[in-house]
Every structure is written in C-alpha cells, then in structure tokens.
Amino acid sequence: MVVIDVSRVFPGNTPQIIATVTGTLTALSDGMQYGWSAPIIPVLQSPSSPVQITDSDIVWIENIYLLGGLVGIPLTMYILDKFGRKNTMLIASMEYLVAWLLVAFASSVEVIFVARFITGLASDTNFVATPVYIAEISQKKIRGRLGSLIYIMMLMGVVLIYAIGPFVSIAASSSVGAGIIVLQLLTFSFMPESPYYLLVKNRKEEARRALRILRSSKDVEDELNEIAEVVEQENEVRGRPLELFTVKSNRKAITIMTVLAFAQHYSGISVMLMNIHMILEDAATIIPASTAAIIFSVLMLLACTFSALLIDKVGRRLLLFVSSFLTAVSLLALATYFAVKDNDVDVKDYNWVPVVAVMAFAVTFKCGLGLIPIVMTAELFPTNIKALGCTVSDAMYVSAGASSIYLFHFLQRNYGMHVPFFLFGCSCLLVGIFAIVVIPETKGKTLDEIQRLLKGEPLSTSCANGIHTNIYEKVPLLSSCDDVVEKSYRATKIEEDRPVSPQLSN
C-alpha cells in the first residue's frame, strides 16, 4: 500500500497528529451510531417513516448494537495481529460504510437490525485497534492528548446526530455518516503502519521509514533500536493467552482495565445517553428533552476536549480521581432528588435539580472517568499480548454496558429511580479510591517503562538540577518532564526537541 511522506511538508509532531486525526474519523462515525437511536427512533415511529417499527423493535435496535460488539471480539483479536493496526482500522471503516448504506436504503426493520449488528462489529474492532495504533505511533509527551482524540471524535459524532437526526431524513443523516467514512478511507489509507507492529513482523526497513515519517526526522536509529529491543524481549516471552492472568504485570493490567471498563458504565453513562428523556421528565417545563440532549452532548465534548489538553500535564491518576469524586456527587444529588420524590414529597419547586445534576454529570464524567480508560487501554499491555489484552478489556466494556442498562431498568421498576443512581454514585467513589491506590501514573513514560512499573521495578531518573529519584508504581513523578532524563537498564535516551546537558547523578 502506498504511504505518503507527510513529514516533508509538515514538521515536528504534525505527522503524528495527522495520522491520529484521519484514523479517528471512524470514531466520529461511531459516535453518530452510538447516539443514533435517541433521535432516529421517533422518526421511525412517525407515520411518514419508510420503515414501520414496533415497541419490541426498539429494544432490539438498541441492544443488537451491543450484541454485534460481543460477537466481534474473537474476530478483532485475530485481525489485529494478523493484518496490523492500520489495516484493522480500515476494515472497521468498511464495516461502518456498509452499515450506513444499509440504513440509508433500508425498506424493512430487519435491514436496520443487520446494519446495527454490523455497526457493533465495527465499533468493537475500531475501539480496540485505534487506541493501540495511537499509542504505538506517538511520542510519550503527546501520547495522552492524541489518545484522547478518540473520545473527542466520538462525542462530536453524538452531537452531530443529535443536531441533524430529528430534522432530516434517515437517508440524509446516513449519507453524512457514510461521507465521513469515505473521507477517512481517502486519507488514512496513506498513513504509515505502527512501527511496533512492523518490527513484530520483522519488517525493520518499513518500520524505519514509518518512524522517519512520524518523527519528521531521519535520525531515528536510537528510537528504532530501542523499540526493536523491547519487541525482541517481549517476543522471547510470547506465550499462551493464559499468561494474561498468570503473569503478574499482565494480571495487574487486566485488573485495572476491567475495573475501569465497569467503572465507566456503572457511573451511568449508557443509562444517561439512552434514557435522558425519562430522567429529565420532571424538567420538561424548564427545557425540552431534545434540547437537553444536545446540551448534554455538547458539554461532554467540551469537557473531554479540555481534559485532553491537561492529560499529559497533570497526569491520568489525578484526573481520574477528581472526575470520579465529582461524578459521584452529581449522581448522589440526582438520586437524592428521586428518593425524596418517591416518598410523595412535592418537588415541583425543585425540578431544576435533575437538570443541574445531569449537566454536571456530563462535565465531570468526561473530565476523566469517560476519557482516561481509552487512553490507558493501549498503554498497559506489552506488545506480545496487547491484542489479547485490549480485546478482553473491550469485552469487559461491552459486558459492563449491557449489564448496567439491564440493572438500571430492573432496579428502577422494582425499587424506584433513586436506587440505581445511589448505586452508580457509590461505584464512582470506589473508583476514585482505586485510582489512587492501585493505578500507576503513566504520564511521561515510554511503553517499556510502563511495563516496568507494572512489574514493580524502580525507574531511575535524573533531573537537570542533579537530584536523583527512584520512582515506584504508586509514587507520582513531581519533576517537570522537560527537565527529566530517563535511564533504563538497557539504554539512556533523551527525548527532547532541543539539546540539553543534564547532569546525571548515580
């Protein structure tokens, strides 16, 4: 496949940014699909709908998306290592394109079911391959910000479908989604493959060329050799899938990602997106549900964008802790409102509470809890087991989503609306504690250094002022990243844009 050397025109980090932006256009499309049912189901229920649906069809339209994701898990795990990160992302793009075309020309609800199922397959593939690709092409100082683009693009897609879905035909909104995918195929197809993957497949010359494009520099031998050595060592211990659970560092990584996967959904995000009209029913006199949904999605987008700018400055753990705590406050406030209402207290004068709580949730959730997990997915697993680790994490994510929606409806019907939100709020508090106690800080670390943190090995760093510090997995680095020279047991590598002369102390 032809690869265009964009580094000849765009210097510095720009090639990495271009590869990430073009690669995450599928997330923009997926955001449209994720929020598709909320504005489109009323259109399908209207007398002028090209496809007539029943109430039972609505349940299938929402759930078959998740079913497709579950079915696609084994396929994703296979193609990610077989065909590479880039080609796997392009396969997901083709699946999205087929799904949009099916929806655009659907003449029966069964065609929509098939389209939604294919969308689930594509979503699973995309949200495993894309974080891995971004983590493997980006330099550590911007890896967090680039990884955040996945969620930013997804939220832009949600805003887009909320904004156009109720006002245009289904064919027209589907054409917009298909157009985004065509743009992605026309641009991302010419981006380089992950140098890590190319070295895993012993294609060193291609890896060298890809790295030169991504770094806008011909002097990449040190980094190439460092990556090659890491890949070689990881390939030497390449083992069975069971090692995801028997190797201590892998077990810790999958434990962290499982907790974060359940934390996202058991904070109530899927419940909010799919049931916001019901949750804000009391506030209908204050703000129409359709308007509230658009504001909700826009606030999430703005919060996610703001956090993406901070993630490589303040770190993952701090954002995750603050986000979890503040999200818990908004959920507990919402739960308290419904608890008071369920006790036959007149809350007419306080019907603004659910609006404020839900909008606060949109901001606090996306500031960390709704952003950090997707960034860390591709950071925590070593190359030799990354496909399996990311796929299992994705399986946990889909399972958590399906179970949280079922649990919400069960608790709401049998015990009242306040009970699930009390559960979600307490869940967020526990996640905040977990973030501080268990999760290592990966800000400013290479992928190899992150593996050493998970294994409990110390990292020796030296600052320009001569102070020597040992960093363990639970102690955050307080020194400025620009002043730090990281010494690994294999090589000393300075990743700065300008030369410095730090004094190393031993």
Residue 175, pLDDT score: 96
**What distance in Å separates the CA atoms of residue 207 and residue 201, rounded to the nearest whole number?**
10
**What distance in Å separates the CA atoms of residue 53 and residue 62, rounded to the nearest whole number?**
13
Closest listed residue to residue 398, CA positions, set 21, 76, 46? 76
CATH homologous superfamily of 242-458 equals MFS general substrate transporter like domains (1.20.1250.20)
Tokens at residue 244, please? 């995801």
More confident residue, 485 or 216: 216
Three-state SS at 191: coil
Per domain, the residue ranges of the chain are 1-191, 242-458
**What distance in Å separates the CA atoms of residue 205 and residue 381, rounded to the nearest whole number?**
25
Fill in the amino acid letter for 181: I
Residue 445, pLDDT score: 85
Q: Taking phi first (over 0 means left), then psi (-120 to 50 degrees means alpha), and beta for anything else, what does residue 216 get?
A: left
Tokens at residue 378, please? 């591709």
Q: Pinpoint the alpha helices (H) of 165-268.
A: 170-188, 195-200, 204-215, 221-236, 243-246, 248-265
Residue 173, pLDDT score: 94
Burial of 226 (0-12, 13-18, 19+ CB in 10 A): middle
Length of the chain: 506
Give per-residue pLDDT as tens, 274-297: 777 778 877 766 788 778 888 998
**What distance in Å separates the CA atoms of residue 7 and residue 236, rounded to the nearest whole number?**
34
Q: Residue 6: which pLDDT band, with cuts at 50, 70 and 90?
A: low
Q: Which listed CATH number (1.10.3720.10, 1.10.10.1100, 3.30.70.260, 1.20.1250.20) goes with 1-191? A: 1.20.1250.20
Give per-residue pLDDT as tens, 189-218: 999 999 999 998 899 999 999 999 998 888
Residue 11, pLDDT score: 64
Closest listed residue to residue 73, CA positions, set 398, 378, 478? 398
**What distance in Å separates the CA atoms of residue 80 and residue 226, rounded to the nearest whole number?**
23
pTM: predicted TM-score of the whole model, two decimal places: 0.73
Q: Residue 163: which pLDDT band, with cuts at 50, 70 and 90?
A: confident
Question: What are the C-alpha distances in Å from 379 to residues 112, 115, 285, 444, 462?
Answer: 36, 32, 46, 11, 23
